[in-house]
Amino acid sequence: MFSFFNRNSVKSVNVNELDKLFGKINLIDIREIYEYRSGHVPTAKNIPMDKIIPECDKYLDKSKEYYLICQSGARSSRTCNYLKSKGFNVINVSGGTSGYRGALER
């Protein structure tokens, strides 16, 4: 019934592998606005999970690839599984913002 919570069904990349991808990928931070404003991985665009899930067709294009990041990787993993079940090409950023070793943007 809740198969979109299966953590092993989507591709994943470690947060510290993103540096070489900045500017080449669509990186979406799904945390709440206040979390995003407190510091986010460079180039990440904020679309909170509670907006992207019910209105995924409004925010995403099925012909594009998206990398989703949250604080630890748990929310983004669940969201990726859901979006994948809806036909979107998504990759989870494991480790999340808290695991990023570089400088965060504010």
Q: Which residues are marked as active site?
A: 70
Residue 29: what are its φ and ψ, rounded to 5°?
-90, 115
